[in-house]
């Protein structure tokens, strides 16, 4: 509570610098609507345990949501009223871009909240309708033939008995991080991601995170943002963790991924501007595409090739007790397999549209996505839980990559790319705002 008063005081001080009179009134009315939005997200969280991914606003608001337990119909009616009020408060085109983005953000996040309510009330959407309504984007479709061509290349690269998936799994298993070395390997990976991020992007001195190893989850890693620049990062050890996952997870969950995105939103929007809506993060909302997309693109930002190969050879493989001589071969195969990532979206699309059942989805993932049988089952569990959220990872990455590369002039200047990337992570920009 004390922390919140500090935020508000800070905001009150900062507004007179930016405007007076009409602009200050505009801010006040938007702040009132933002508060109602936060309370709506917390209210919906009472009906869906996954919905509120992070919240560090006033604790009393969460308690209020718990005791009021508003019905879905009440939540929808209030969300419609807030949406109308936000629409009526549209800023004119002369105001600062961040203020215009804030307005669009609230409109779209409220729209997604209402779509989620309607789904929970029984409304059926196709996969593409759902991803558009919740995540402000639609993933492209791909025919089996496109994946077959990539699989043929992999088949030639991985000779031997069994299907391509089995051969890929056998190949990848040679690069498993032994459980006893997992923590030490993650620690050097995080340090590598953190130092490369800090070289380009300043973070508050007090930022930190805790890492935990967990089991029985549908995901491989998770960042739980706690507020006050702190995160809890969990790594799932149900299945063997392969060497490439150390850098991938450390960048994606930590630096410059989810942890950094949340820290920058807290610093620039919640603390500096007093925009309380950014103290809550509803999982099924357009913000997730930017979160997942930037976390995945952030891996390439921190470790562009061939620097990544060098770091794997010098640091990650030795920490994991693996022979660094295998690095080039391993990453050549992985970069081919990565081109199959959209096969996962196809499996989810067909499964959620009712064209195939859970077994069919698992078989599709094994055949076209190169998932081993247990990983395919884990992925179907993920699709059951998070549904069209799957597009946020690969489509999100591609959208963020296109945006950052276009905005930074498409050259090789890393400083310009980091600058655009940092501004994206510090802003309310949503997926449709990446397509300009």
Chain residues binding Zn ion by CB under 5 A are: 292, 295
Measured from the CB atom, the residue of 82 and 290 that comes closer to Zn ion is 290
Report the DSSP beta bridge partners of residue 221.
235
Tokens of 78: 């209030």
Least Å from the CB of residue 364 to Zn ion: 23
Least Å from the CB of residue 349 to Zn ion: 20
Least Å from the CB of residue 226 to Zn ion: 16
Measured from the CB atom, the residue of 292 and 346 that comes closer to Zn ion is 292
Least Å from the CB of residue 122 to Zn ion: 29
Phi and psi (nearest 5°) for 140?
Answer: -65, 155
Measured from the CB atom, the residue of 175 and 281 that comes closer to Zn ion is 281
Least Å from the CB of residue 405 to Zn ion: 21
Measured from the CB atom, the residue of 248 and 292 that comes closer to Zn ion is 292
Measured from the CB atom, the residue of 264 and 295 that comes closer to Zn ion is 295
- Residue 284 is classified by DSSP as S
| Sign of the dihedral defined by the CA atoms of residues 292, 296, 299, 300, in that order | negative
Angstrom CA distances, 39 to 32, 45, 73, 99, stand at 11, 10, 15, 21
- Residue 277 is classified by DSSP as G
Phi and psi (nearest 5°) for 272?
Answer: -70, -35
Answer whether 375's CB lies under 8 Å from 347's CB.
Answer: no
Measured from the CB atom, the residue of 296 and 372 that comes closer to Zn ion is 296
Least Å from the CB of residue 91 to Zn ion: 31
Least Å from the CB of residue 206 to Zn ion: 23
Q: What's the CA gap between 106 and 113, in Å, rounded?
A: 10
Least Å from the CB of residue 221 to Zn ion: 7
Who's near 12: CB < 8 A, 6+ residues apart? Answer: 274
Measured from the CB atom, the residue of 53 and 169 that comes closer to Zn ion is 53
Answer whether 168's CB lies under 8 Å from 154's CB.
Answer: yes
Least Å from the CB of residue 218 to Zn ion: 13
Least Å from the CB of residue 292 to Zn ion: 5
Contacts 24+ apart (CB under 8 A), 364-373: 366/163, 366/165, 367/163, 367/165, 368/144, 368/147, 368/151, 368/340, 368/343, 369/340, 369/341, 369/343, 369/344, 370/154, 370/164, 370/165, 370/168, 370/169, 370/337, 370/340, 371/165, 372/165, 372/166, 372/169
Measured from the CB atom, the residue of 247 and 295 that comes closer to Zn ion is 295
Measured from the CB atom, the residue of 278 and 317 that comes closer to Zn ion is 278
Measured from the CB atom, the residue of 136 and 292 that comes closer to Zn ion is 292
Q: Using CA atoms of 258, 260, 266, 272 in order, give the dihedral in degrees to the nearest 10.
A: -150
Q: State the chain's maximal CA–CA distance in angstroms.
A: 75
First-to-last C-alpha distance (Å) of the chain: 39
Who's near 270: CB < 8 A, 6+ residues apart? Answer: 7, 276, 278, 279
Least Å from the CB of residue 416 to Zn ion: 25
Helix (H, G, I), strand (E, B) or coil at 213: strand
Q: What's the CA gap between 423 and 269, in Å, rounded?
A: 12
Q: What's the CA gap between 270 and 408, in Å, rounded?
A: 26
Measured from the CB atom, the residue of 292 and 366 that comes closer to Zn ion is 292
């Amino acid at each position: 509570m004390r922390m919140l008063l500090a935020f508000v005081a800070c905001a009150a001080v900062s507004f007179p610098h930016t405007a007076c009179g009409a602009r200050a009134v505009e801010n006040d009315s938007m702040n009132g609507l933002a508060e109602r939005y936060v309370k709506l997200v917390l209210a919906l969280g009472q009906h869906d345990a996954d919905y509120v991914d992070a919240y560090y606003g006033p604790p009393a608001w969460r308690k209020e949501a718990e005791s009021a337990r508003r019905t879905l119909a009440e939540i929808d009616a209030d969300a419609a009223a807030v949406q109308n009020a936000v629409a009526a408060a549209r800023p004119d085109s002369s105001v600062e871009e961040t203020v215009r983005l804030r307005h669009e953000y609230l409109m779209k996040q409220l729209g997604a909240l209402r779509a989620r309510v309607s789904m929970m009330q029984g409304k059926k959407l196709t996969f593409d309708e759902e991803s558009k309504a919740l995540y402000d984007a639609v993933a492209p479709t791909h025919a089996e033939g496109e994946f077959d061509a990539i699989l043929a290349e992999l088949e030639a690269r991985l000779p031997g008995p069994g299907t391509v998936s089995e051969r890929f799994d056998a190949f990848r298993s040679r690069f498993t991080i032994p459980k006893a070395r997992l923590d030490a390997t993650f620690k050097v990976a995080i340090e590598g991601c953190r130092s490369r991020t800090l070289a380009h992007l300043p973070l508050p001195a007090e930022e930190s995170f805790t890492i935990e190893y967990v089991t029985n989850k549908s995901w491989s890693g998770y960042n739980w943002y706690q507020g006050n620049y702190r995160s809890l990062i969990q790594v799932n050890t149900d299945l063997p963790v392969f060497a490439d996952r150390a850098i991938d997870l450390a960048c994606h969950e930590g630096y410059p991924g989810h942890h950094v995105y949340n820290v920058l939103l807290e610093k620039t929007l919640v603390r500096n501007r007093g925009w309380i809506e950014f103290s809550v993060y509803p999982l099924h909302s357009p913000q997730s595409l930017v979160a997942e997309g930037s976390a995945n693109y952030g891996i390439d930002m921190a470790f562009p090739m061939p620097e990544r190969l060098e770091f794997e050879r010098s640091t990650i493989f030795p920490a994991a007790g693996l022979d660094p001589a295998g690095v080039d071969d391993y990453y050549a195969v992985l970069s081919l397999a990565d081109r199959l990532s959209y096969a996962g979206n196809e499996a989810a699309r067909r499964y959620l549209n009712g064209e195939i059942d859970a077994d069919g989805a698992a078989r599709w993932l094994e055949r076209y996505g190169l998932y081993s049988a247990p990983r395919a089952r884990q992925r179907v569990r993920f699709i059951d839980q998070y549904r069209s959220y799957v597009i946020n990872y690969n489509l999100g990455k591609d959208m963020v990559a296109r945006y950052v590369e276009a905005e930074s002039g498409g050259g090789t200047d890393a400083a310009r790319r980091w600058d655009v990337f940092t501004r994206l992570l510090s802003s309310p920009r949503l997926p449709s705002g990446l397509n300009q």
